[in-house]
Structures are given as structure tokens and as C-alpha cells.
Amino acid sequence: MIGQAMENNVLLQGRREQQTRPTVRQVTIGLAVVWVALVAGLGWWISQKIVTAQLARWAASAEYEAKTTARVMDRLFTEMVSVANMVARQGQVIELAMRYRTDAPGAAALTRQERAAQFTRDPLVRRVGDFMNALASDLRYARIYMNNMSDDTVSASNWAEPDSIVGMIYSGRPYLVDALRTGSGHYFGIARLNKSPSYFVASRIEDPNDVPLGSVTVKFDAPEVALYLTGRHIALIVNRQGRVITASSATFMLRNVAALLPPGTVLPQDGEEELGELMDVRASGGSDLADQWLIDGKPYLLRRQPLSGTQYQLITLATLEPLAPMRRQHLGTAGLIAVFGLVLILLSGHAANQIVMRRQDERYAANYDALTGLPNRRAVLAELERLFTLAKRTQQWVLVAFIDLDGFKPINDTYGHEAGDRFLIEVGRRMSAGLRASDMLGRWGGDEFVVIGLVAPPRSHDPQGVVDEMRNRLARPLIGTYTSAECSFDYRGASFGIVSVDPAVSSLQAALKEADRLMYADKQARRAQHTTKSGPACDSFGNNASDCNIA
């Protein structure tokens, strides 16, 4: 029983610490949650600001590049038209066109090589061809050639080459038909001989009376045009069907991105040219600054620019793939800041907990007995002063009980101070069990204890009823056997001095003095009631060493 009482005192100290730690822990957790929320919110806001600013820079860059590239392409296509017009108006070209305005009867039955041999025997055909060849070489055109009204190629810049197209009949070619009908023709297609994607611009040849004689065509291969699409972003030239006819990235070449064109501008398939493989194009929203799309699963910022004098659109794509690692970097930075702050908060919380515990230990040491865990004299006096004030206000009386443990010194001398300490702890536990919830039990010092509390004013027919009830509550639990792992002995009780005073007529000091006096009177009376027993191990209150079983 005594050992259990000692353990109870240790548990009391542990419960006191546990009551303190949750408060500090809750504050620490609260600060940690607020910190994480703050870092997350502020990090998201800063990240959005950075991303928005970056999008604005990319949008401005794409806009500038689109306009700049469009001017280059406009000039390039204008140059092709001008060259075609210039060649068509050249004197020797007109003379040659007048000479071979239409094919002779039976020419269609000849092979291309046979027709080419007939044409190239004419020195004028060769001179015009050499002129076209020099011009095409200077301007990096794939080919310049002249067709008559029968769509037969009379002369070409490659007339002397093995792959010469002289004698080739291009019947039904849209750009040739348009040139003869309206004066000019434009077309994008795949060349029949070298299978290269090419632009064709044709201009009509006329005699002095404006009679059509044939046409001059400038052919510019798309890979050569792509060299003009320089810049940090991807540039696409797209026809009215959505097919990419020139691109700075091979991934897009000859594929279809019709979804990127403005609504209502896409035309159905025209002629023999294919529409191209459809790319997976999806709008992904975007801000006011960024027209954003997913193309084959990759994010892009888009800018459109029509090309003057053509049916083509220039589309500039700025890749947004760096945004994902940028956001991950922002997330990582925010995570590091959050972790750093959490470590500081946790360390601060631990330090704060230590400070709070230290201060509580100091307050506990100042107000509680270190052995029994009961309030000490200082705490009892402070509570007693409060009870006197409360009793005056509520018209109650104050009860004060002094308890002195008779025979405590022989217990120490016989069984040792450790057994004496355990005895004091068990005494405190037993008396606490007999108290009312509103009473306070404290250790006054040494082997003296004190109980204080509020009681109703005594009844006139039983003025000592409250005092006797308190004596019964405290005295009976103390009498009996005290057992520990080391020994067991019988104890016959303690001396009590109990008073119930009216705070209106009695002071705190007077109540304490009277309780102390009554306690000493009770001690004297108890001594007179017991007969002194013989033997060095016995005391005057019946504690006998022969009853002790030393473990």
C-alpha cells in the first residue's frame, strides 16, 4: 500500500506535466498549420505572379516575332510575284511565247524527251532558259519555267539538266489555269518529280494587244522558305485547309492544325492535295494575355498573323513546357521554406515547452510538497485567505483541521526514513479519500497536515456536529495496517485539532491558533489514554517492532 502511494505521487506529477504539454502542443500545431497555410497561399500567389509575368513576356515575344516573320514572308511572296511578272514581261520571253503559243498537232503523242529535244534545238529556248537559271540561282528559287497555252513547258531554268522539265505538260494545274484566266496564280503542292513541298506563283505572258501567250511560274521549295522562319519560337505557314505547308519544326510539317485557324476560315479539300495528318489540337483556356493550346499533348501559346496577298496564315507557337518545371521549382522552394519554418516552429515549441515546464516546476515547488504532492503551507494559507473572503460573502463558516501524526519519529527510527516517507504519502492518500470535493488537504510541515474548507453555520442544537463529522472522515482512515514491500505495521491514529469559525468574528490567524491548540490538547489526551509498553522497539502509541516483517 505504501509503495502504491509513492507511485500515485509520481503519477500526479506526470498528470501535471501532461496537462501542460497539450496547450503548448496545440499552440505549436496551430502555428505550424498557419505557417503552412501562409506559405502555401503566399507561394501560390507569388508563383501565379511570376507565371503571369512570364506568359506576358512570351506573349509579347510571340506577338513581335509573328509580326516580324509575317513581314519577311509577305516580302518573300511579293518578291516571287514580282519576279514572275518581270520574267513574263521580258522581251525574249514574250518572243518565245509568241513562237510556241500552242503545241503543234500531234505533240501530245510525243514523249516528254521528244518534245524537249524539239524545244531545246531552238537557241531562243536555251537563252531564255539560261536567263531563268541565273535568276533562280541568285534568288535561291527551285525553278523558273515557262508554259504555253497548251500547258507544255517550253523553257525552264533546268533545261540543260538530266531532270529537266522542258516538254512536261501540266494540264489542269490550278495556278496555271488562274494565271491564264486572271493574270496570276498561287498554289502549294507536292512537286511531281522530286516530291518536295513547294510554292508556285504564276504570271501571265501577254502580247502587245494583251492576248494571253502562256505563263511564267516561279517555284520555291518549302524547305528553302523555312530558312526564313528564324526565331526562338515555332513558326508555321498554314493553308486554308489547315495543312502546315512550311514549318520551322519538322514535327508539324505537312500535318493538319485546322483547329488553330480562326472560326469560319477553314475551307474543304481543294484539288488533288491531301489535308495532312490531323494533329491532336485542344484549347486549354489561358488568360487575357495568352491564347493557350495543347498540341499533341504539349502546351503552346499561340499568335496568328495573316500573310498579305495570299491565302495563308502565319501561326507562331511559343512552347509553354518550361512552365511545368518552373511551377515545380516554385513548389520546391515553397516546400523548403515551409520545412525550414516548421523546423523553427517545432524547435521554438520545444523550447517554449521547456520554459513553461520550468516555470510550472517553479510554481509547483513553491506551492506543493515535493514528497506527498499535496499543497504546502504557502498554498494552504493563500487558499485559506480566499475561503475567509468567500465565506464572508456567502455567510458560511470556515473549517480548519490540524493533524499531527503521533509516533512518526519511532517509525522513522525503526523502519528507516524511506519507510517514513512512504508512510506520509499513504497518510495523505487516505485522508484525501475521506475529504469532500471542496476541501483542501495540505502538508503543514514534518508530520503535520492541515485540512481547510467551507461549511454551513453550526446548528444550535449540535454546535460540534460539523467538527465531529470531519474528525470521523479523517481519523478512521488513518487507523490500521500500513504495508509496503519492506515492512508492515499497525498504526493507531493521529491527533486532531478541528475548529469551525465564523469569518465575521474570527480572523485567519485566530482560527489557525485555535486549531493548533486543540491539536496539542488532543495529543495530550491521547497520551494519557495509552499505557507505555516495555521494549526498546515500542512507542507510547502501540507501534511495536515485533509487528514488523522486514523484507
Strand 153-156 versus strand 234-238 pairing type:
unpaired
Q: How confident is the model at residue 108, as a pLDDT?
A: 87
In sequence order, what DSSP letters do the residues of 50-83 get, joined into one string? HHHHHHHHHHHHHHHHHHHHHHHHHHHHHHHHHH
Return the closest-CA partner of residue 503 out of 401, 377, 393: 393
Query: Is residue 414 within 8 Å of residue 423, measured between CB atoms?
Result: no
Instruction: Note the CATH number of domain 61-323.
Output: 3.30.450.20
User: What are the residues facing 128 on neighbouring strands?
Assistant: none
Q: H/E element holding 177?
A: helix 174-182
Q: How confident is the model at residue 463, as a pLDDT?
A: 80
Q: Phi/psi at 84 (nearest 5 deg)?
A: -60, -40
Q: How confident is the model at residue 541, as a pLDDT?
A: 40
C-alpha dihedral over 298, 302, 307, 312, to 10 degrees? 40
Question: In the chain, how long is the greatest CA-to-CA distance?
Answer: 163
Q: How confident is the model at residue 549, as a pLDDT?
A: 36
Q: How confident is the model at residue 313, as a pLDDT?
A: 92
Q: How confident is the model at residue 1, as a pLDDT?
A: 46
CA dist., res. 360 & res. 392, Å (int): 32
Joined grid coordinates for residue 381: 494559507
Angle (nearest 5°) at CA 67 between 64 and 72:
125
pTM of the model: 0.65
Q: H/E element holding 481?
A: strand 480-483
Query: Is residue 246 within 8 Å of residue 222, measured between CB atoms?
Result: yes
Query: Is residue 216 within 8 Å of residue 93, measured between CB atoms?
Result: yes
Q: How confident is the model at residue 460, as a pLDDT?
A: 79
CA dist., res. 525 & res. 518, Å (int): 10
Q: How confident is the model at residue 389, as a pLDDT?
A: 94
CA dist., res. 551 & res. 60, Å (int): 93
Q: How confident is the model at residue 344, as a pLDDT?
A: 93
Query: Is residue 214 within 8 Å of residue 147, measured between CB atoms?
Result: yes
User: What are the residues facing 298 on neighbouring strands?
Assistant: 295
Q: How confident is the model at residue 375, as a pLDDT?
A: 95
Q: How confident is the model at residue 332, as a pLDDT?
A: 93
Extract the residue ranges of the chain whose pLDDT is less than 70. Answer: 1-21, 192-194, 271-272, 286-290, 531-551
CA dist., res. 197 & res. 174, Å (int): 16
Q: Is 74 exposed, middle or buried (0-12, 13-18, 19+ CB in 10 A)?
A: middle
**DSSP state at residue 531:** P
Q: H/E element holding 190?
A: strand 184-190
Homologous superfamily of 377-547 in CATH?
Answer: Reverse transcriptase/Diguanylate cyclase domain (3.30.70.270)
User: What are the residues facing 448 on neighbouring strands?
Assistant: 404, 445
Joined grid coordinates for residue 541: 502509541
Q: How far apart are the first and last CA of the chain?
A: 14
Q: Residue ranges per domain, the chain? A: 61-323, 377-547
The rounded mean pLDDT for the chain is: 88
Q: How confident is the model at residue 5, as a pLDDT?
A: 42
Q: How confident is the model at residue 289, as a pLDDT?
A: 55
